[in-house]
């Protein structure tokens, strides 16, 4: 049987893989995307789709902000381009954000964050409790105050991934279904990927397998320090007007009304291996947080509970770039809860590296080589 050929194979048809296929295909690169399950069938398809470039952990904010901010700017343009190319509306919309403080310690931390962001030119400010309730009276009376930010947005994650895949196919990309089992190489140069259904000859390959990327460590002779972290989310139906703002608490918990009229609340952060099942414990925790933020939602109807696994790296930063010891084998994983947001800039980086041989976007903090010789 004749071996199929591509310039680049991408393992994984989640948001990172599909975005990269789209950007590469637009540059005339022959791409084959390999997926074991279906397009966007894991975290990419179930994510709440919150694009918050400023919502970063303090310990990594300085490193991550240039990446998240650039990716956010690309999203603003890309959403319109995808609709024109595929007819799929991803429901991208700007959505201002209110980050709540229930304790003085939370208020002090948020005020420091506001000062830092304002110094960098971002549109954020501190609101006292009266100001918050004037904007959104349903917020808990227990709050001390909140940060208000204009620099965020949201979209429908599954429709976004689907649009990326269809647009990539329009530019010549192919999507194949099968299980990735290994690589063929000459020296350190990849020559083909191996699937259960046969080989695909290629010059380069990108591993974008989300939390499953670490399972390829033994095939590569390089330890990929990525583990799954489960996130559960609720979709709620409630009477009354939609929430005009995204409400955020304790960096992890978000709630807001999406394009379908449902309130999305999430997410949990659970280290439970590859268990993707929703749980009663996760549901109860999310409902408790939701009612803490908006007490009147105690009477709301639970429509859907979802769970998915997100790729969490050993240092909490994305892993983007060529694998040490290989020529033409790249990682694009470890985006944790920022996968939807960072999909655009990651795809841009991978396209630059493959088409130009370099990228003007600084990626040293995210290079796989940082884990060389490190215990995972």
What is the secondary structure of 7-53 as a DSSP string?
EEEEE--SHHHHHHHHHHHHTT--EEEEESS-TT-SHHHHS--EE-T
Mean pLDDT (whole number) for 188-204: 92
Looking at residue 341, its pLDDT comes to 97
Tabulate helix, strand, coil % of the chain (nearest 5): 35, 30, 35
Looking at residue 34, its pLDDT comes to 96
Looking at residue 376, its pLDDT comes to 38
Mean pLDDT (whole number) for 99-109: 96
CB 146 within 8 A of CB 160: no
pLDDT of 167 above 90 = yes
Helix axes 157-170, 339-355, angle to 10 degrees: 20
Please tell me whether residue 86 adopts helix, strand or coil conformation.
Answer: helix
- Residue 375: pLDDT band (50, 70, 90) is very low
pLDDT of 5 above 50 = yes
pLDDT of 204 above 60 = yes
**Range picked from 33-37, 127-131, 215-219 for highest mean pLDDT:** 127-131
Contacts of 293 (CB under 8 A, 6+ apart): 100, 139, 140, 247, 249, 253, 255
Task: Give the tokens for residue 323.
Answer: 């694998």
pLDDT of 118 above 80 = yes
Looking at residue 3, its pLDDT comes to 64
Domains annotated on the chain, with CATH: 4-49+158-225+315-371 (3.50.50.60), 96-150 (3.30.9.10), 227-312 (3.30.9.10)
Looking at residue 38, its pLDDT comes to 87
pLDDT of 252 above 80 = no
Percent of the chain residues topping a pLDDT of 90: 86
Contacts of 364 (CB under 8 A, 6+ apart): none
Q: Can you tell me the distance from the alpha carbon of 341 to that of 356, in angstroms, rounded to the nearest whole number?
A: 24
CB 333 within 8 A of CB 224: yes
Mean pLDDT (whole number) for 118-134: 95
Backbone region of residue 122 per phi and psi (left: phi > 0; alpha: psi in -120 to 50; beta: other values): beta
310-358 residue pLDDT tens: 999 999 999 999 999 999 999 999 999 999 999 999 999 999 999 999 9
Q: State the average pLDDT for the chain.
A: 94
138-156 residue pLDDT tens: 999 999 999 999 999 999 9
Read off the pTM.
Answer: 0.95
What are the phi and psi torsion angles at 300 (to 5°)? -75, 165
pLDDT of 2 above 80 = no
pLDDT of 1 above 60 = no
Q: Can you tell me the distance from the alpha carbon of 113 to that of 126, in angstroms, rounded to the nearest whole number?
A: 10
232-250 residue pLDDT tens: 999 999 999 999 999 999 7
Q: Can you tell me the distance from the alpha carbon of 179 to that of 173, in angstroms, rounded to the nearest whole number?
A: 18
pLDDT of 111 above 90 = yes
Q: Can you tell me the distance from the alpha carbon of 168 to that of 165, in angstroms, rounded to the nearest whole number?
A: 5
- Residue 251: pLDDT band (50, 70, 90) is low
11-69 residue pLDDT tens: 999 999 999 999 999 999 999 999 998 898 888 888 989 999 998 888 888 999 999 99
Q: Can you tell me the distance from the alpha carbon of 225 to that of 232, in angstroms, rounded to the nearest whole number?
A: 23
- Residue 253: pLDDT band (50, 70, 90) is confident
What are the phi and psi torsion angles at 7 (to 5°)? -70, -45
Dmax (CA) for the chain in angstroms is: 72
């Amino acid at each position: 049987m004749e071996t199929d050929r591509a310039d680049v194979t991408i393992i994984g048809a989640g948001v990172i893989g599909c975005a990269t296929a789209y950007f590469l295909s637009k540059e005339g690169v022959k791409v084959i995307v390999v997926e074991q399950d279906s397009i966007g069938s894991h975290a990419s398809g179930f994510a709440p789709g919150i694009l918050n470039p400023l919502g970063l952990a303090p310990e990594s904010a300085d490193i991550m902000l240039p990446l998240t901010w650039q990716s956010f700017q690309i999203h603003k343009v890309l959403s319109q381009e995808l609709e024109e190319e595929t007819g799929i509306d991803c429901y991208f919309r700007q959505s201002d954000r209110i980050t709540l403080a229930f304790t003085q310690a939370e208020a002090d931390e948020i005020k420091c964050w506001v000062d830092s962001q304002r110094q960098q030119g971002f549109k954020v400010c501190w609101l006292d409790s009266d100001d918050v309730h004037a904007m959104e009276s349903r917020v808990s009376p227990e709050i001390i105050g909140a940060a208000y930010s204009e620099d965020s947005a949201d979209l429908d994650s599954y429709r976004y991934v689907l649009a990326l895949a269809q647009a990539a196919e329009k530019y010549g990309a192919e999507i194949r279904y099968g299980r990735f089992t290994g690589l063929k190489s000459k020296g350190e140069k990849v020559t083909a990927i191996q699937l259960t259904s046969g080989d695909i000859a290629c010059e380069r390959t990108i591993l974008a397998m989300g939390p499953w990327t670490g399972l390829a460590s033994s095939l590569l002779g390089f330890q990929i320090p990525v583990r799954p972290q489960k996130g559960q989310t609720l979709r709620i139906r409630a009477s009354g007007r939609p929430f005009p703002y995204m409400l955020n608490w304790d960096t992890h918990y978000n709630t807001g009304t999406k394009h379908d009229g449902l309130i999305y609340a999430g997410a949990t952060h659970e280290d439970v291996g590859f268990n993707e099942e929703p749980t009663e414990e996760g549901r109860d925790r999310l409902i408790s947080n939701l009612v803490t933020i908006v007490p009147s939602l105690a009477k709301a109807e639970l429509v859907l509970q979802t769970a998915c696994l997100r790729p969490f790296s050993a240092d909490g930063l994305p892993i983007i770039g060529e694998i040490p010891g290989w020529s033409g084998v790249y990682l694009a994983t470890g985006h944790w809860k920022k996968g939807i947001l960072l999909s655009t800039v990651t795809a841009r980086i991978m396209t630059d590296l493959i088409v130009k041989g370099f990228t003007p976007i600084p990626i040293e903090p995210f290079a796989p080589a940082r884990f060389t010789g490190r215990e995972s």
